[in-house]
Amino acid sequence: MLLIKNGRVIDPTSKTDSHADVLIDKGKIAKIGAGISAGDAVVLDAANCIVAPGFIDMHCHLREPGGEISETIQSGTQSAARGGFTAVCPMPNTHPVNDNASVTRAILERAAAISPVHVWPIGAASKESKGEQLSEIAAMQQAGAVAVTDDGKPIASARLLRQVMDYCRPLNLPVIDHCEDSSLAAGGVMREGPHSIRLGLKGMPAAAESICVGRDVEVASLTGARLHIAHMSARGSLEHVRNAKRRGLSVTCEVTPHHFTLIDEDVRYDSHFKMNPPLASREDRDALLEGLADGTVDAIATDHAPHHPASKDVEFDRAPFGITGFETAIALALEQLVHANRISLMRMVELFTIGPAKILGKESKLHTGAPADITIFSTERDWTYHTVESPGLSRNTPFDGRKFRGGPVATIVGGKIVYRN
């Protein structure tokens, strides 16, 4: 048995916010209450810490199979556990692409053998994510895929998107889209504006994203399918989602910590500031913060995208898009959202737990009898993020050396402590 003592329990499902102990037995929550004693239990003192349902990252890249020089399922999930996540959803743009049940099963079997956290794969919407033919969607779902996407690029056409949605609707499977009008974004390496001109870098306009979000919302209205917008970065995109929710459509969205923290003015000629969608204008970032506060945004996701230095430490134009994100997500959310008084702790926990859980058809709660997947974090601990301490294989982040107030303290999966600071 494991007994978590003296923590502040926050559970958005039951709206609980109180000091209590949590007793875990045989991988499940056995009891929650004040002054619990269990003589033979291992005690984890959570004084001055938040005890929350396990955090879920519904958008990440583990690079295996095919990209093991940058990350593996083992190294990536160890990094996720260090970041406080109890479950992660790897995107399908691996080599080979996760577009059939064999690849889905291989990922799950590998994860079952070496991952400290749950791995819920997301399958490709089209074969090899080429945007031409539907992938084996039903077979992948039966194998364990929790959604489909052609992430890394948008689903190629409205016609194909309609086919994917028509197929996924009776399966109650969410369709996730990386929204980007390829013709508008072509050749862009950062957000178009005065700062792209200053740096001499080709920009992609915010409209490249919002035009595609508008397309997707209309196809979702046409089909009645579930649509989720990945890593949203533009004010216009947020307005499309807000209007879709008002219309009663099943449309959700996520925002990454780097998009609600940094803006295009922060970009330097350093590929660690190169991500897709690119860092947005101050006005767009402020719109995202507003959406996180007012409930328009459903989830925070990292888009953890590791790249080996051999590919990332090159000229800005030549470097691949993406940064790592597991280990700084909670700290950035605390810094930008909670300590800045933009949202409550309850809302922050919701964005990492029941927000993504509802989209993926999972549960996330601290109830007696529930699986003991738990994230414990501090809101006050001063620490500095050093990439050299990470179990991940890549170091591509603009947050190396950043000082934080608050972060992960312990991660518990199935009643087992898989990370402890």
- Enumerate the active-site residues: 303
409, 49 Cβ separation under 8 angstroms: yes
* Cα 107 from Cα 121, distance rounded (Å): 7
Which residue type is seen at 381?
R
Pairing of strands 227-229, 251-255: parallel
Q: For residue 23, give the nearest of 13, 37, 11, 9 by alpha carbon.
A: 37
List C-alpha distances in Å: 269 to 28, 202, 272: 49, 12, 9
Give strand pairing partners of 382: 405
- By CB neighbour count within 10 A (0-12 exposed, 13-18 middle, 19+ buried), where does 158 fall? middle
Which residue type is seen at 204?
M
Pairing of strands 299-300, 251-255: parallel
Which residue type is seen at 67?
G
47-50: Cβ within 8 A, 24+ apart: 47/5, 47/6, 47/7, 48/378, 48/380, 49/7, 49/8, 49/376, 49/377, 49/378, 49/409, 50/7, 50/8, 50/10, 50/345, 50/349, 50/376, 50/377, 50/378, 50/379
Q: How many CA atoms lie within 13 A of 88 on its CB side?
A: 32
* Cα 91 from Cα 153, distance rounded (Å): 12
